[in-house]
């Protein structure tokens, strides 16, 4: 089934379910609508109280995060000014990275961020980590949490933590700053840890000898011939190759319509 039809089916099912819930007032204490967005919330927020035993550490963590956020914000502002100066002084040729849709880091809209399940899952997890930071520091700073929940627009698009407004208004100074800064602190710390893990895993990568086929275009000759992705080219029309340059040289010597035989290694099989 075409992916567009699947998407339309999901949208239709979501619209029907949302319409029924809205019209009949079902689960009024737990479901609220903001236009087409459905907010599903729960008042069971005792989970956050478990972190109060680590209040001293979490306050230090959040305070460090506030300082880190300020430093990063200043650094980004300086880089922005340098970028503007470079843009007006040098006037670099326009590229796709400056296109309006690429300003927002939204998967699928930004052409450099693919709309895949893995990317969307990372996007949702990032928001969850952010919001849970607010919830945890709310309880550490004695701010009651009224509810926690998820935002749906066909698929989950975010999470939220709802602190008690009266407690929040009574909170002043560094306590309030720590609570608001906890979300982005979590994102920075988790992002840094993920980057560190990625660097460590890169050290375990074993280089592959020979030119690797990273992928094949749909409906082109390579796909129709059954050339597998992530395979290593060993020979082109019987001529052994060792580098991508060798492959390019042999292919450049062919003409449109010529038949090329590839010998590839995939999963240990030639």
99 token code pair = 């296109």
Overall average pLDDT of the 232-246 stretch: 87
Assess contact for 139 and 171: CB atoms under 8 A.
Answer: no
- What domains are defined for the chain? 25-202 (no CATH), 212-265 (2.30.42.10)
Range of weakest confidence among 31-40, 168-177, 250-259: 250-259
243 token code pair = 């580098």
Residue 160 has pLDDT above 80, yes or no: yes
When comparing pLDDT for 155 and 172, which is higher? Answer: 172
Predicted confidence at residue 106, as pLDDT, reads 72
Of how many residues is the chain composed? 270
Q: CB-based contacts of 42: which residues, under 8 Å, 6+ apart? A: 30, 147, 148, 149
Most confidently modeled of 1-15, 54-68, 195-209? Answer: 54-68
pLDDT tens digit sequence for 44-82: 999 999 999 999 999 999 999 999 989 999 999 999 888
Q: How many degrees, rounded to 5, is the angle at CA 126 between CA 120 and CA 127?
A: 95
Overall average pLDDT of the 127-151 stretch: 93
**Average pLDDT in the chain:** 86
d(CA 137, CA 182): 7
Q: Which of 169, 177, 136 lies closest to 50, judged by CA?
A: 136
Q: Which of 166, 187, 178 lies closest to 141, judged by CA?
A: 178
Percent of the chain with pLDDT over 90: 40
175 token code pair = 């306590």
């Amino acid at each position: 089934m075409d992916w567009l039809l699947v998407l339309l089916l999901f949208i239709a099912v979501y619209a029907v379910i949302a319409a029924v819930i809205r019209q009949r007032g079902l689960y009024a204490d737990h479901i609220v609508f903001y236009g087409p967005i459905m907010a599903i919330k729960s008042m069971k927020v005792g989970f956050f109280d478990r972190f109060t035993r680590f209040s001293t550490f979490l306050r230090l963590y959040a305070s460090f995060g506030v300082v880190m956020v300020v430093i990063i914000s200043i650094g980004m502002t300086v880089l922005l000014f340098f970028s503007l100066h470079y843009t007006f002084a040098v006037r670099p040729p326009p590229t796709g990275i400056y296109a309006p849709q690429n300003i927002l880091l939204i998967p699928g809209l930004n052409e450099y961020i693919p709309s895949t399940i893995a990317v969307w899952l990372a996007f949702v997890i990032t928001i969850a980590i952010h919001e849970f930071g607010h919830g945890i520091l709310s309880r550490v700073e004695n701010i009651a949490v009224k509810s926690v929940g998820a935002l749906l627009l066909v698929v989950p698009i975010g999470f939220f933590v709802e602190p008690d407004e009266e407690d929040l208004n009574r909170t002043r100074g560094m306590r309030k700053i720590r609570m608001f800064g906890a979300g982005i602190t979590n994102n920075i710390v988790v992002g840094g840890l993920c980057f560190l893990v990625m660097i460590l895993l890169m050290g375990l990568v074993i280089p592959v000898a020979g030119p690797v086929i990273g992928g094949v275009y749909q409906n082109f000759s390579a796909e129709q011939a059954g050339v597998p992705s992530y395979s290593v080219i060993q020979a082109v029309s019987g001529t052994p190759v060792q580098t991508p340059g060798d492959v390019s040289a042999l292919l450049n010597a062919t003409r449109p319509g010529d038949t090329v035989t590839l010998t590839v290694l995939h999963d240990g099989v030639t």
